[in-house]
Amino acid sequence: MKSVELPILSARILIVDDQEANVELLREIFTQAGYTSIDSTTKPLEVCGLHRQHAYDLILLDLQMPGMDGFQVIEGLKTNSGDAYLPVVVITAQPGHKIRALQAGAKDFISKPFDVVEVKTRIHNMLEVRLLHKRLQNYSKELEQKVDERTAELRESEARYRSLTELASDWYWEQDENGAFTKVSGPVLEMLGIKVSSLGGNDSIGYSDGWNEAERETLKATIAARQPFLDFIFSRIDADGSKRSFRVSGEPMFNSRCRLTGYRGIGAELIAKK
């Protein structure tokens, strides 16, 4: 399996320790290891503001500091950071503080006095995990953006489809999975002889007499089989004896789970009523 290349050496690092000598020692270790973006502060009160400004990939945090200890800094970072991943490695000489720091939200710890190999190894491992986490976050955001863009394209395409079909036909309609009309453009109800008190309501729906039953049963069977139909011709005889013919085309609609949600289609009258 090919390894993932990560910009570990250019990761942004913040060293927090009230002892300037410790800061300089850690900075020297990181510089010799090849890290190129290293900030530091001896003032724990500045940490949250610096992290908001620079979004560090790793914060190396001493726990024993006057005024505001490392545990308080961690709580501040958890409150102020919009990132669910807290990139903190604590520095401590107290064995009992290690578990407490991990429980508080720190991701790892480094013991005092410093062991150079341990420092380099733990920092490298921490940054590797951190950068993979950021890459996953970015990928998720890109994927979500692509889905939103594709959804907008589909909605625009749907709007164009409806506009074109309405211009090219006498009517456009949509029905739900139970056959009830949900959207109608044009005199489809009157032309089809459908009697309904209110569109989309619970009123009963009836058809006027005179339809060619064989044609209508063929169309009903096509719809029941969830098949599209193109330029289907059917007719009816009106009360005055005149014949009216219609050409209809339709297609089934499905949701993202491939469940039938209804039909949509267009139609036009072929022979005007005399």
Per-residue pLDDT tens digits for 76-110: 998 876 666 788 999 988 888 888 988 888 888 88
Dihedral sign from CA coordinates of 9, 11, 12, 16: negative
Task: Please report, as a single letter, which amino acid is at residue 14.
Answer: L
**Higher pLDDT residue, 6 or 64?**
64
- DSSP letters for 148-208: HHHHHHHHHHHHHHHHHHHHTSSEEEEEETTS-EEEEESSHHHHHTEE-SSTTSSS--EE-
**Higher pLDDT residue, 176 or 201?**
176
Report helix angle 70-80 to 47-54, nearest 10: 40
CATH number of the domain where residue 252 is located: 3.30.450.20
pTM for this prediction: 0.51
Quick one: pLDDT at residue 208? 53
Residues 6+ apart with CB under 8 A from 17: 23, 26, 40, 42, 60, 62, 65, 91
In this structure, are residues 245 and 150 in contact, taking their beta carbons and an 8 Å threshold?
A: no
Residue range(s) defining the domain that contains residue 231: 168-269
Using the structure block, give the residue that is written with the tokens 């290891």: 33
Quick one: pLDDT at residue 169? 65
Question: pLDDT per residue over 171-186, tens digit each?
Answer: 788 888 887 888 887 7
Indicate if 22 and 128 belong to the same structural domain.
yes
For residues 247-257, give the mean pLDDT.
84
Residue 273 has pLDDT above 50, yes or no: no
Band (pLDDT 50/70/90 cuts) for residue 191 is: low
Indicate if 21 and 116 belong to the same structural domain.
yes
Considering the domain boundaries, does residue 148 fall inside one? no
- Please report how many Cα atoms fall inside a 13 Å half-sphere around the Cα of residue 219, on the Cβ side: 21
Indicate if 21 and 138 belong to the same structural domain.
yes
Quick one: pLDDT at residue 158? 65
Round the average pLDDT of the chain to a whole number and report it. 80
Question: pLDDT per residue over 17-68, tens digit each?
Answer: 999 999 999 999 999 999 999 999 999 999 999 999 998 999 999 998 988 9
Indicate if 174 and 130 belong to the same structural domain.
no
Considering only CA atoms, which of 120, 99, 107, 98 is closest in space to residue 77? 107
Indicate if 62 and 114 belong to the same structural domain.
yes
Share of the chain above pLDDT 90, in %: 26
3-class DSSP state for residue 232? Answer: strand
Considering the domain boundaries, does residue 147 fall inside one? no
3-class DSSP state for residue 89? Answer: strand
Residue 234's H or E segment, with its range, is: strand 229-237
**The tokens of 119 are what?**
């420092």
Indicate if 123 and 222 belong to the same structural domain.
no
Last residue of a domain, one of 107, 142, 177: 142
